[in-house]
Structure 1
Amino acid sequence: MSNCLSAFAHERLWVGITALRLSRVAYEDAYRHALKRKTFGKALFENQVIRQKFAKMTNRLEPTQAYMEHLVFRSVRMSSLEFSPLAAMLKVQAAHHLEKVTREAQQVFGGLGYSRGGQGWRVEQISRDVRVLVVSGGSEEILLDMIAKQQKRLANL
């Protein structure tokens, strides 16, 4: 894989994979909490609004997971010029989704998602660290501009 990765493409791939993994951690913790937390005599998960939150989170995670797996598979079969914007797209997408999934997970946890101890501690930790991943390897605006320029270069080959 190293032959097709520029220094930043490798970092962006790593950040994208890390952001996706942290999204899954936040999702899993919130899901487990929703299944066991009782409100008004029933599990929190029995509330339609809560189920919709999980459906929306899944709708962010699964396509990003598939894209990441496909990108890693293709990474050894393409040039650095082709791979670099794709790694940047994964990073932008996964970091964006991490922000959204973490927010929804905190909503499911309520106050527990904002305290450093207890059941929601991992979600709280992720919420404090999410901005590091969002800006690592380039901000969304910078990367989107770079992606557009790389795509133009590829179109002119």
Structure 2
Amino acid sequence: MNISITGFILFFLLLVTSYPIEAKERTPYGYWIYVEGKSYKNIHTLNEHNYEFGYVCNNGCMYYITPSVICDTTKVIDGWLIQTSGVSKRIRTTCVKHEGETILKINSEKDLTDLLEKNHEVHFLINFDVEINSLLTFNMLGFIDSYNRINNQ
């Protein structure tokens, strides 16, 4: 496996800075990190701009993205998941507060997992409003193993 210096530094920073000190375990899986705390399990990755894409389980599970702009916690925001093949899927997100941070909860789970497992990289195009769109790209290397770990498979 050939990992660039930038990729290694990003991965190292992700490993040592992600989630509170209370985490009982942090295990890397490619570009993804499995984190287990007292009351949650989480898998996540960072892109080159430090935006996070992940899956957290705490009284239910959800996919999320850290937004690139401040968003209204009452607003539903449309977007697209764009696969490596170029095929896209429309997604709906909701700004929510989680562990004191504002995140975009992706309002889809099972069908999203099926798509994510098939790609080495995914892109999210989020339409915050008419003038602000964000295109976020995430490396999926390690996703399948970390997803199986969080679901005890």
With normalisation by structure 2, the TM-score equals 0.29
Q: Which has the larger radius of gyration?
A: 1
Structure with greater contact order relative to length (CA < 8 Å, sep ≥ 6) = 1
Q: Counting strand residues as a fraction of each chain, which structure ranks higher?
A: 2
With normalisation by structure 1, the TM-score equals 0.29
